[in-house]
Amino acid sequence: MPIYEYKGLDAKGKHAKGLKEADSVKSLRVLLRREGIFVTDMKESGGQVISSSKKHKDLLSSEVRFRALFQRISAESLGVATRQLATLLQAGVPMVDALNAMIEQIENQNLKRVFSEIKSDVNEGLSLADALGKHKCFSNIYVNMVRAGESSGALEVVLERLAEFLEGQAQLKSRVMGAMLYPSVMMLIGGIVMIIMLTTVVPRIAQVFIHAKIQLPLMTRMLIGLSSFLSNFWWLVIILLGIFIFFALRFIKTPKGRLKWDGLKLKAPVFGPISRMISVARFSRTLSTLLASGVPLLTSLQIVRNVLANSILEKTIDDVRDAVREGEDIATPLKRSGCFPPMVTHMIAIGEKSGQLEQMLTRVAISYEQQVQIRVGMLTSLLEPIMIVIMGGSVGFIVFAILTPIMQMSQLVK
């Protein structure tokens, strides 16, 4: 059945809008009228707008497009929807009814539209995994885990694990981003303040020194030179910076450039160990979730390879996959690569020998996620005083560069 976006007025005269599935425009109006909503505009999802007024039609279409720009499907909202679906299926609700009940609870309009289309596909006979695979918002991990759950008859359990996986990944990402937000904002504000001082305040003071015709200290001459350059050639700085960023990004997109960039991310001081920990935690958590959901090992390794986002680690997983295909275990090629810490390879080896690989990988993931949080917290605490010292030093340089010739002028006056 087609899905319609509608806009209207409820019984209290308030504006109402949303998505609803119906056989036709007429049946949609009847359904909404039963709910006490008088339809003024409607639009078939992906189709033509059906409106009582051209003005209302244009407004609705623009509003839908504008709303879609800011309603991205986040991992948090997808995790919540997945958990709701798992709960409904565990309660014995049929798939189509469960999807219908879940759609009514989703607030994100884009996600609501996606699951409405999935419900239509499932209702027509497609498997849930195949219906999910038609939409880009579901990763290979998601689709393959659902497919494994459908094959094994444990879809509810798999969806529960998927929800936990998505929520855990979202929490780790938000903690890292949240910890780095404050230092980044401070750096941005400090940079803007310095640029404003150099391009507006310093040039005016420099005119006073020029008219005074005194020998300026080296510090003051350096400050005036920098200020003059930024004031007169700011456009050149922007152009050169843009050219540098353009060619840097272009180089990183090449295989050789990406390899060097990814190697730098792993070896960089302070940030390198954190990047490696995040990759190890992501590898362990993803592989554990996939294996526990019944996805074959070789398929799991291929999926894990695609979520690491580091070409060096991707090559390592390719080597591990080839070794496993030839009958070797996972721990040995991981240890041989040197990219994974000894503790990780040791725990994986123990898990393989004891038959508890999924549990060991989960422990590794928990351990490294905690280490990432601790390291990021320490880094944030360390960055704050460092940035204060840098900003204070910069402001102090400007102040001393200005005050020194002023003191000289005051002595000449005496």
- Asked if the domains 75-167 and 168-414 are classified in one and the same CATH topology, the answer is yes
The amino acid present at 359, given as its one-letter code, is Q
Element (H, E) at 38: strand 38-44
Query: Residue 247: what pLDDT?
Result: 92
Query: Residue 117: what pLDDT?
Result: 86
Query: Residue 239: what pLDDT?
Result: 94
Q: What is the pLDDT along the chain (414 residues), one digit of tens a residue?
A: 566 677 776 766 677 777 766 666 667 677 777 777 777 776 665 544 444 444 444 444 444 444 444 456 777 788 888 888 888 888 888 888 888 888 888 877 888 888 888 888 888 888 888 888 888 888 877 888 888 778 777 788 888 888 888 887 777 777 777 777 777 788 888 888 888 888 888 888 888 777 777 778 888 888 888 888 888 888 898 999 999 999 999 998 888 888 888 888 888 887 888 888 888 888 888 888 888 888 888 888 888 887 787 888 888 888 999 998 888 888 888 888 888 888 889 999 999 888 888 889 989 888 888 888 888 878 877 877 888 888 888 888 888 888 888 887 776 655
Q: CA 62 → CA 49, 59, 380, distances in Å? A: 11, 5, 42
Convert 363-401 to b/e letters by CB count within 10 Å (16 or more is b).
ebbebbbebbbebbeebeeebeeeeeeebeebeeebeeb
Tell whether domain 168-414 is in CATH 1.10.260.40: no
The amino acid present at 163, given as its one-letter code, is A
Architecture of domain 75-167: Up-down Bundle (1.20)
Query: Residue 245: what pLDDT?
Result: 93
Which sequence spans correspond to the domains of the chain?
3-70, 75-167, 168-414
